[in-house]
Structure 1
Amino acid sequence: MRPKAQLYSILVVDIEKFGRRANPVQLWLREQLYGIVRAAFTESSIDWSGGPEPSDRGDGFFWLLPGSVDRTDLTGRFVEVLDQRLRAHARTSSEEGALRLRVALHQGDVAGDAHGWAGEELNTACRLVDIPPLRTALASAPRAGLALAVSGEWHRHVVRHDDPSVASRTFRCVTFDAKEIHGAHAWIRVPGYDAPPGVSATRPAPGAPSRDAAPGAAPAGREDRRADHPGAPGSGPFAGAHFDRVGQVFGGDQIVHGGQTFQWGSGPEETAGRGEGKAEAS
Structure 2
Amino acid sequence: MEAPLDRAPSGALAPWSGLNCSVLFCDVAGFGDPSRDDEDRQVVRDVTYGILLSALAASDVPPADTYREDRGDGALVIVSPAVPTASLIDPLAGHLAVALRRHNHRASTAVRVQLRAALHVGPVTPDTEGLNGQVIIQTARLMEAPVLKTALAETGADLGFIVSSFVYDAYVAHLHGPIDPRAFERVTLTVKETTTEAWMYLAGTANRPAAPAPRSPDPDGPQGTTVFSGDVQVRGDLVLGNKITHNR
State the distance in 2 between where 1:15 and 1:152 align: 23
The equivalent residue for 1:147 is 160
Post-superposition shift, 1:164? 3.1
Correspondent of 2:59 among 44, 50, 64: 44
Q: 1:44 to 1:162 in 2, by over 3 A?
A: closer
Post-superposition shift, 1:149? 0.4
The equivalent residue for 1:111 is 125
Amino acid at match of 2:83: V
State the distance in 2 between where 1:48 and 1:163 align: 26
Amino acid at match of 1:153: F
State the distance in 2 between where 1:167 and 1:30 align: 30
The equivalent residue for 1:74 is 88
SS class of match (1:96): helix
State the distance in 2 between where 1:92 and 1:162 align: 32
Q: How does 1:93-132 map to 2 (within 5 A)?
A: 93-132=107-146
The equivalent residue for 1:246 is none
**Which runs of no fewer than 5 residues in structure 1 stay unpaired?**
199-282
Amino acid at match of 2:115: L
Amino acid at match of 1:179: K
**Which runs of no fewer than 5 residues in structure 2 stay unpaired?**
1-13, 210-248
Q: How does 1:70-219 map to 2 (within 5 A)?
A: 70-142=84-156, 144-182=157-195, 184-191=196-203
The equivalent residue for 1:268 is none
State the distance in 2 between where 1:189 and 1:93 align: 23
The equivalent residue for 1:57 is 71
The equivalent residue for 1:261 is none
The equivalent residue for 1:224 is none
Contact kept in structure 2, 1:14 and 1:102, CA below 8 Å: yes
Post-superposition shift, 1:162? 4.0
Contact kept in structure 2, 1:48 and 1:66, CA below 8 Å: no
State the distance in 2 between where 1:83 and 1:166 align: 11
TM-score, structure 2 as length reference = 0.72
TM-score, structure 1 as length reference = 0.63
SS class of match (2:111): coil
Contact kept in structure 1, 2:22 and 2:122, CA below 8 Å: yes
Amino acid at match of 1:25: D
Contact kept in structure 1, 2:28 and 2:73, CA below 8 Å: yes
Amino acid at match of 1:176: L
Post-superposition shift, 1:172? 1.0
Do residues 23 (structure 1) and 16 (structure 2) align? Answer: no
The structure, 1 or 2, with the larger RCO (C-alpha pairs under 8 Å, 6+ apart) is 2
Cα RMSD for the two superposed structures: 2.0
Structure having the larger proportion of residues in helix = 2
The equivalent residue for 1:243 is none
Post-superposition shift, 1:117? 0.7
SS class of match (2:110): coil
Contact kept in structure 2, 1:10 and 1:107, CA below 8 Å: yes
State the distance in 2 between where 1:140 and 1:80 align: 21
The equivalent residue for 2:9 is none
